[in-house]
Amino acid sequence: MLETIKNKINSIFSKIFLLILAASFALWGVGDIFSSNNNSSVATVGKLDVTADDFVKTYQRIISDLNNNTNGQITEEIAKSLGVPRQTLGQLINEKLIDIEVNKANINLPDNYLRKIIYSSDVFKDQFGAFSKQQFDYVIRQLGMDETTYFNEIRKAVLREQIQSPFTSQKDLSKILNNTYYDIRYEKRNLKVVNFNASSYKVDSIPSENDIREKLNKDSGLYQKPEFRSFSFISIKPDDLIEDIKITNEELKKEYDNYPEKYNTPEKREVLLANFNEKEEAQSIANKIKDLDTDASISKIFIEIIKENTELDPNLVNLGLIEYNDFPSEVSDSIFKTEANILIGPEKTAFGWRLFLVTNIKPAINKTFQDVKTDIEKELKVSVAIEKMYDLGNIFYDEIAAGNQIEQAALSIGAKVEEFKYIDVNGIDQNGNVVNNIPPYPELLDTVFSYNSNETSELINTIGNTMYAIQVNDILDKRIMTLEEARNKVIEDINLEKRMELALNNATNFSKELNNGNFEKIAEKYNLIVLEANNVSRDGAGAEGILDNESLREAFNIKKGETSSPKKYKNENYLIINVTEILPVIDRNSDQLIRINSEISQSISRDIELLFINNLTNNQKIKINENLLNSLFQNDS
């Protein structure tokens, strides 16, 4: 069992480490919405508790990970709408269910073995591949843990994996099943398609008043005016304050002297470096590099020889662009005194023998005080302006707390108030026009639509070091259009329904006639253009702009020579599809076969694991503290 654990520790460890580390770099202040000091239980699973602190930390971790993968697009509201809080709680409950099974099975992991496999992780290795205690201590400090806590977290993850591994391990499918699924997925088809477009049919009758009224009442959800809001907007940004900020020459010079690294660029070198355990191996590789007779650059030779004659990863051999301080002095001394494109070594090190090659040298750039004086002044002014902004923000909050409206609060800090009249959440006015002068700040309109009438928002940090606040002045609720407001749209829709009915009748008659003639001849009779789509895949490639998802599925459900029934397309057309040729798979791609095997086996594993979790759920008493869970997200008060 311990050997199995060792084989899995790298993947498990990486997931745990990356998820926990992500929490330290959250892209939005989700922590501010919680009171994580409350360590009451948000749920109990048997005799185990899911504490509020557990929930908060896991939620932050998940949100941070989502943000890291979406360039910071997951806001609090989006997370809630996606059900992330409930999914987080579900994950924690499942973990507790597994923990109960771990205890039942009496599975344990010796401390010395756990320490050994954790210390072997690449996360804690230095540039030479050796465990670094300094790196280890630094990482767990960043995670807010001590060694004991950290080991316990990894131990629990590993032990849970032992219970779940029978369901999550990859299993190879039978060759017949894998090949059959592959052939179905990658089969292609040649199609002929005719399109019965509603716009081709004329409707002479005019809907009566009664028809219009009935349609409006029947489909009232289609004829609604959205909610509109009027609001006031203020903003504070550094540019508003910079003009009045003065920085003395002495302050500028002090900044230059205190932070020379900000204004001077040290020498950098691109380096290829390989470590070897034995001198003989290092010398052999060096000889091969020197003896190779080719016009290729020595850096390419270095990489090729390493790739062909060692088990070293060429990507790890390339250290990229480094500075002197990136390495211990005994390494940097050698690297930074040699000339470019000259192979150095074998050199003896504390870990064996090394060869290295400097492939490029970027000289140091040293700027005088006069060179950077203007830049320093701009930077310091912005820094001072930001400090002043927070002071002004406090004044603003005091004014609002005193019961003043946003206009009076803005006056107290010298901010300009902008007024916006009746805009919907998409930035459209009551006449259907885009309001172009709305400040271009992310989530501004979401903020406007998250406050009640006469409420003033908090100051919100946004792009460009800007802070803004809004006050909702009036709200026009969402409503059904009046008969006059909806008249033209209702008439259009009634006429479209009639034209679609005519299109369907024609398409149905076309289908019936296909029994007595070929596709092209019948299409010509109906004055239809036959569209050809060849080599069409199940993902729609080859049929772009001709078929949608529903009609595409139909095209792969019928046999060669068969014709589909009329299929609605984009609500204004009916399509009829004829399969002229089925193109079977000739050569199976090995990489795609592997992916298919993985996808199907993972799907099967997920289904089995879900059944397992459901069974555990039925055997344990689970209680959720809804009041506490909801209170964790009440940040509007």
The total domain count for the chain is 4
**Res 358: pLDDT:** 94
Consecutive H or E run containing 72: none
Place of tokens 């076309």: 510
Place of tokens 């090995």: 590
Query: Residues 457, 401: one domain?
Result: yes
Query: Residues 412, 521: one domain?
Result: no
Q: Quick count: other Cβ atoms within 10 Å of Cβ 160? A: 19
**Res 505: pLDDT:** 95
Residues 520 and 525: their CA atoms lie apart, in Å, by 9
Residues 503 and 201: their CA atoms lie apart, in Å, by 7
Secondary-structure breakdown of the chain: helix, strand, coil percentages, each rounded to the nearest 5 = 55, 20, 30
Alpha helices, H only, 465-525 = 483-513, 519-525
Final residue before a domain boundary, out of 342, 363, 384: 363
- 612 within domain boundaries: no
Q: Are 502 and 201 in contact (CB under 8 A)?
A: yes
Residues 393 and 384: their CA atoms lie apart, in Å, by 14
- 139 within domain boundaries: yes
The vertex-418 CA angle with 416 and 423, nearest 5°, equals: 160
| CA neighbor of 262 nearest in space, from 161, 179, 379 | 379
Give the distance from CA 339 to its chain's centroid: 44
CATH number, domain with residue 143: 1.10.4030.10
CATH number, domain with residue 316: 3.10.50.40
Tokens standing for residue 299:
């850096």
Number of H helices, E strands in the chain: 24, 19
Long-range contacts: 486-493, Cβ < 8 Å, 24+? Answer: 486/216, 486/223, 487/212, 489/223, 490/207, 490/212, 490/215, 490/216, 490/223, 491/206, 491/207, 491/212, 493/215, 493/219, 493/222
Query: Residues 442, 335: one domain?
Result: no
Residues 191 and 531: their CA atoms lie apart, in Å, by 8
For residue 417, give every residue at least 6 positions away whose Cβ sits within 8 Å of its Cβ, in sequence order, or none. 232, 233, 234, 406, 407, 410
| CA neighbor of 292 nearest in space, from 309, 315, 317 | 309
Consecutive H or E run containing 225: strand 224-225
Query: Residues 515, 570: one domain?
Result: yes
Place of tokens 């397309």: 569
**β-pair partners for 514:** none
| CA neighbor of 563 nearest in space, from 520, 527, 505 | 520
- 177 within domain boundaries: no
CATH number, domain with residue 529: 3.10.50
Query: What phi-psi label fits residue 45: left (phi over 0), alpha (psi between -120 and 50 degrees) or beta?
Result: beta
Cα-trace Rg, the chain: 34
Rounded mean pLDDT for each run of 10 residues along the chain, 637 residues in total: 37 41 33 44 89 84 74 74 86 86 79 77 73 76 75 81 66 73 89 95 90 94 95 93 91 88 87 91 92 81 90 87 85 91 89 90 91 90 88 92 93 94 95 93 92 92 89 96 94 94 95 81 93 94 93 93 93 94 89 81 77 82 85 60
Tokens standing for residue 205:
């009758």
**Res 6: pLDDT:** 37
Place of tokens 């004055």: 527
Q: Are 572 and 197 in contact (CB under 8 A)?
A: yes
Final residue before a domain boundary, out of 455, 480, 505: 480
**β-pair partners for 310:** none
Residues 280 and 60: their CA atoms lie apart, in Å, by 51
Tokens standing for residue 272:
């290829």
**Res 128: pLDDT:** 65
Residues 112 and 159: their CA atoms lie apart, in Å, by 15
Coil, strand, or helix at residue 461?
strand
Residues 606 and 618: their CA atoms lie apart, in Å, by 18
Q: Are 637 and 452 in contact (CB under 8 A)?
A: no
Q: How close are the terminal C-alpha atoms of the chain, in Å? A: 52
Structural domain boundaries enclosing 313: 267-363
Query: Residues 159, 26: one domain?
Result: yes
Q: Are 413 and 215 in contact (CB under 8 A)?
A: no
Query: What phi-psi label fits residue 539: left (phi over 0), alpha (psi between -120 and 50 degrees) or beta?
Result: alpha
Residues 486 and 495: their CA atoms lie apart, in Å, by 14
- 208 within domain boundaries: yes
Tokens standing for residue 578:
């004829």
- Angle formed by the axes of helices 52-69 and 84-105, nearest 10°: 120
**Res 72: pLDDT:** 67
Place of tokens 């902004």: 389
**Res 12: pLDDT:** 40
Final residue before a domain boundary, out of 436, 463, 480: 480
Consecutive H or E run containing 434: none
Could you tell me the pTM of the whole model?
0.52
- 427 within domain boundaries: yes
Query: Residues 58, 203: one domain?
Result: no
**Res 35: pLDDT:** 37
Query: Residues 21, 131: one domain?
Result: yes
- 545 within domain boundaries: yes
Query: What phi-psi label fits residue 173: left (phi over 0), alpha (psi between -120 and 50 degrees) or beta?
Result: beta
Q: Are 89 and 629 in contact (CB under 8 A)?
A: yes
Query: Residues 67, 92: one domain?
Result: yes
